[in-house]
Amino acid sequence: MSKKHYGVIGHPIGHTLSPFIHARLMELSGIDGDYGVFDVAPGELSERFKTELSELDGFNATIPHKQAVIPLLDETDETAALYGSVNTVAFDRSGGKTRSKGCTTDGIGFTSALESAGIEMGSVVTIVGCGGVGRVFANTCAKQGCRLNILECSAALGGAEDFAASINERFGEGTASVFLTEDYSGECDLLVNATPVGMAPNADACAVSDIVISGAKAVFDAVYNPSETLLVRKARALGKKAITGMTMLVYQAAAAQTFWNGSHFEKEDMEQLARDCFKELERR
């Protein structure tokens, strides 16, 4: 079997953990492959897709390419339609012609991380932030039948209201409601932080008040650096199940390997990989 070649595209791409994660996943599944990092400026995407990227077996896409890559693809699956984005592309060269297919693994990464930690979405989910990852969380939870409270700052309130309207149109009126973050004090089954608040080096910040944390049964923080954010630490001190986003990062990468190679992974291996990723972050 010939060696396979994968990578991640973004701009700026920074110090991504993806090569570390995918190297381990390919080792676990017996895949002989490598994984590179490609800094692709927005204006370069179309040309580089036709040339060097299409020579790969597949690639992951991050900001700002998750939407821009869609028109370049021959096919997308139902996850791309649900989230309006693609973070994983595969190339099929069978039949002598190269065809590209895209999907999004963010949703399954999120749900797998919750399942691994024994956390249930429940019926009411409060999501802080309405950016790209927040919209993935919102669509995933709405599809599961949850009612959503979307929290935003005043500067982004209009965009949050427009997004909530689109959720209500797709999943039923009353599915999503919007609140100013500083004004919200309701209870929920799951509290999700979809903002960078609390990320190192600003690890002493928390996305919501103690009242909001106390009113949640469980917490998911998309931030994974530091390994225990202030939000997670406060939730755990109250006896609540709480995790950061590292297991989501690992599970969404695993889902990409499944999309590319049909690989499957054990829960214990995913949890160990997440722990090793924290060590890798500390080493850097």
Q: Per residue in 167-182, pLDDT tens?
A: 999 999 999 999 999 9
Q: Per residue in 242-278, pLDDT tens?
A: 999 999 999 999 999 999 999 999 999 999 999 999 9
Domain boundaries, the chain: 4-104+247-283, 108-244
CATH 3.30.70.2860 fits 108-244, yes or no: no
Read off the pLDDT of each residue in 46-72 and give the average, rounded to a whole number: 96
Q: How many CB atoms lie within 10 A of CB 91?
A: 17
Q: Looking at residue 1, what is its pLDDT? A: 62
**To the nearest whole percent, how much of the chain has pLDDT over 70?**
100
Rounded to a whole number of angstroms, the distance between the first and last alpha carbons of the chain is: 34
Read off the pLDDT of each residue in 149-160 and give the average, rounded to a whole number: 94
Residue 119 has pLDDT above 80, yes or no: yes
- What band does 15 get if pLDDT is binned at 50, 70 and 90? confident
Q: Looking at residue 270, what is its pLDDT? A: 97
Q: How many CB atoms lie within 10 A of CB 192?
A: 30
Residue 121 has pLDDT above 70, yes or no: yes
Flag the least confident range among 11-15, 101-105, 117-121, 212-216: 11-15
Residue the block writes with tokens 């676990």: 28
Could you give the residue numbers annotated as active site? 66
Q: What are phi and psi of 151, to 5 degrees?
A: -105, 135
- What band does 94 get if pLDDT is binned at 50, 70 and 90? confident
> What's 64's DSSP letter?
T
- What band does 140 get if pLDDT is binned at 50, 70 and 90? very high
Query: Considering the entire predicted model, what is its pTM?
Result: 0.94
Domains 4-104+247-283 and 108-244 share a fold: yes
3-state secondary structure of 86: coil
Q: How far apart are CA 243 and CA 110, in angstroms?
A: 11
CATH superfamily of 4-104+247-283: Leucine Dehydrogenase, chain A, domain 1 (3.40.50.10860)
Q: Looking at residue 141, what is its pLDDT? A: 98
Mean pLDDT rounded to a whole number for the chain: 96
Q: Per residue in 232-252, pLDDT tens?
A: 999 999 999 999 999 999 999
Angle (nearest 5°) at CA 249 between 243 and 250 = 100
**To the nearest whole percent, how much of the chain has pLDDT over 90?**
93
Residue 14 has pLDDT above 90, yes or no: no
Q: Which residues contact 77 (CB under 8 A, 6 or more apart)?
A: 101, 102, 103
Read off the pLDDT of each residue in 3-20 and give the average, rounded to a whole number: 94
Q: Looking at residue 283, what is its pLDDT? A: 86
Query: Both tokens of residue 248?
Result: 């989501």
Q: How far apart are CA 249 and CA 141, in angstroms?
A: 18
With beta carbons less than 8 A apart as the criterion, state whether 194 and 129 touch.
yes
Q: Which whole-number Å values give the CA distances from 212 to 169, 181, 185, 191, 250, in the listed order?
A: 27, 10, 5, 8, 28
Q: How far apart are CA 94 and CA 97, in angstroms?
A: 6
